[in-house]
Amino acid sequence: MPAIDLARLKKQTARLADLFDQPSAFLRELREVLDHYINRTLRSQGVAPSSVLPTYRTPAVVLRQIEIELGPVAEKQPIQALELADALWDEGWLETRLLAAFLLGRIPPQEERLLARLTAWTQAVRDPNVRAALLTTSLTRLRKETPDLFLVLVKEWLHPARQRMWSNGIQALVPLISSPDFDNLPPIFEIVEPILKASPAALQSDIKELFVTLYQASPDETVFFIQQILKDTKNPLPAVTLRRMSPDLPQDFQASVRELLRKKR
């Protein structure tokens, strides 16, 4: 891989921004840019560790510069941004899908096709890097500007008939709960209660992260919420899940959970 000339990189990415409303031409130019910066010394059958997608193994500084150039354009041209995101997604490489996820996060929440695209892509995604981007970066504006609409979307993902989406729904909530500007936990409790009462074993890691995040936001509310779940359900799985995860919880939270489990017996 050649050394990165930042001046040249800025010219290359500016050229990409000029082609923003021409997806086919944009992709041709993007392929040339990504190919130019391939780190061949790290390339192994074109697949990144833990990735199921082919990859150019593009240095982070290159992708970041592309995002810097495209972000403002996407905000001004949301329709074109969605069309370009579709083209990037269909291209099927790790880098192009990460850029597609980035563009979704810059599109105004009022764009009517945004929610459908988010749901479709999160249902289909297999790559952990792209999944993480979709559940954080892609939801940025929706989460910050229209939290009520964001919760409507997550509630759809956590519908009892959509068990394959439950993990995505839980992971999407974590950044919202963690936000210092968000302090309205009751709607969160209402949305996740059916999932936590079911407590499937496959979601233990997700549930643990959710509980820890909730506890960090409001210890008293979270402990009371868990108490109500244990009280209101005859399903033994919530107690089993809590018992299994308790050794990994923060010490003060762990003590509260163990006391609740002791009373449950």
78: nearest Cα among 46, 53, 112, 45: 112
Residues 199-258 pLDDT 10s: 999 999 999 999 999 999 999 999 999 999 999 999 999 999 999 999 999 999 999 999
> Is 121 a residue whose pLDDT tops 80?
yes
Same domain, 182 and 101: no
Let me know whether 15 and 130 are in one domain. yes
Structural domain that includes position 74:
1-142
The predicted pLDDT at position 42 comes to 54
75 shares its domain with 165: no
Residue where a domain stops, chosen among 93, 119, 142: 142
The per-residue pLDDT of the chain, averaged, comes to 93
φ, ψ for residue 225, nearest 5 deg = -60, -45
On whether both 157 and 222 belong to a single domain, the answer is yes
pLDDT of residue 41: 56
Which SS3 state, helix, strand or coil, does residue 179 take? coil
Q: Are residues 134 and 224 in the same domain?
A: no
pLDDT score at 50:
62
Q: For residues 246 and 85, what is the distance between their CA atoms, to the nearest angstrom?
A: 41
**pLDDT of 45:** 43
Say whether both 119 and 173 belong to one domain. no
Residue 54 DSSP code? B
Last residue of a domain, one of 91, 120, 142: 142
Q: Are residues 72 and 110 in the same domain?
A: yes
Same domain, 125 and 203: no
Encoded tokens for 258: 């163990």
**Domain stops at, among 142, 175, 210:** 142
In this prediction, residue 44 has a pLDDT band, given cuts at 50, 70 and 90, of very low
Judge whether 13 and 58 are in contact, CB under 8 Å. Answer: no
Q: Rounded to the nearest 5°, which phi and psi values hold at 43? A: -80, 130
Q: How far is CA 36 from the centre of its chain?
A: 29
Q: What is the DSSP letter of 44?
A: S
| Pair (152, 101) in one structural domain | no
**Are 190 and 117 contained in the same domain?**
no
Give how many domains the chain has, as a whole number. 2
Average pLDDT score over residue span 139-158 = 95
Same domain, 150 and 246: yes
Q: Are residues 97 and 123 in the same domain?
A: yes
